[in-house]
Amino acid sequence: MSDRQYILFYKPYGVLCQFTDDSASPRPTLKEYIDIPEVYSVGRLDFDSEGLLMLTNDGQLKHRLIDPQFEHSRTYWVQVERKPTELALKQLRDGVIIQGYRTKPAIAKLLDNEPNLPERDPPIRFRANIPTAWLELTLTEGKNRQVRKMTAAVGFPTLRLVRVSLAHLSLKDLEVGQWRNLTQTELQELRLKVIPRRLR
């Protein structure tokens, strides 16, 4: 199916995950970076989040990737206020209550060093009296602003949020604001992961 499109994009901070913005003060959208018709984002990244976004016109694959019942992983690097305690990390791993819903178990670990990321524009607000730390958080669901709500629920608000992978796909070899097509190998592996043999 040669008309199918599969794109990986490094979404910058301050860009909407859509191609139009009808608000009174329009904000930057995907249209400023991607000139391919009729592709749609697989899940969303908030306006104030950065990182890996996949776009496609393959509805079946999109559904399989975003429906929580299929539990495909997405990994984030999260800068938070202060250094999370072991108790907070355990709560993130076990699931926390946000708006009456308990999140699914996650993989949460403290990064020993600040990850190698481009500077954010604009940078996060720096406060000399409040240290920060970086977490790696892997979820199998993607509810609205979930990472931010989870870290806030355990007492460590998110300052910067970067999605670094979706399933086996990653930001590797992408610059901020840059996109590329999936390779055939990446696409084949993705289909093997997400689509049952009887539906391929």
Does 45 share its domain with 113?
no
Instruction: Please give the mean pLDDT across all residues of the chain.
Output: 91
Residue 197 has a pLDDT of: 56
Q: Are residues 161 and 79 in the same domain?
A: yes
What pLDDT is attached to residue 106?
A: 95
Task: Tell which residue, 77, 53, 100, 71, has the closest CA to residue 151.
Answer: 77
SS3 assignment, position 32: helix
In sequence order, the β-bridge partners of residue 156 are: none
The predicted structure's pLDDT at residue 1: 46
Tell me the one-letter amino acid at 85. Answer: T
CA-closest candidate to residue 93, choices 109, 82, 77? 109
Question: Domain containing 100 — which CATH number?
Answer: 3.30.70.1560
Query: Which residue(s) pair with 54 in the sheet?
Result: 8
With beta carbons less than 8 A apart as the criterion, state whether 153 and 80 touch.
no
Residues 135 and 148 in one domain: yes
Residues 61, 77 within the same domain: no
How many domains does the structure of the chain reveal?
2
- Whether residues 79 and 150 share a domain: the answer is yes
What range defines the domain where residue 156 resides?
A: 73-166
Catalytic residue among 21, 46, 112, 121: 46
pLDDT in tens, 19-62: 999 888 889 999 999 999 899 999 889 999 999 999 999 988 88
Same domain, 148 and 182: no
Same domain? 83 vs 162 = yes
**Is 24 in the same domain as 5?**
yes
Q: Do 108 and 46 fall within a single domain?
A: no
Q: How far apart are CA 148 and CA 156, in angstroms?
A: 9
Distance of CA 57 to the CA centre of its chain: 19
Per the annotation, the verdict on 46 as an active-site residue is yes
**91 & 151 share domain:** yes
Rounded Cα distance between 133 and 25, Å, is 34
| Joined tokens for residue 126 | 């720096």
Same domain, 78 and 162: yes
Residue pLDDT, tens place only, 90-100: 999 999 999 89
**57 and 10 within one domain:** yes
Q: Using only C-alpha atoms, what is the Rg of the chain?
A: 17
Contact between 124 and 41 (Cβ < 8 Å): no
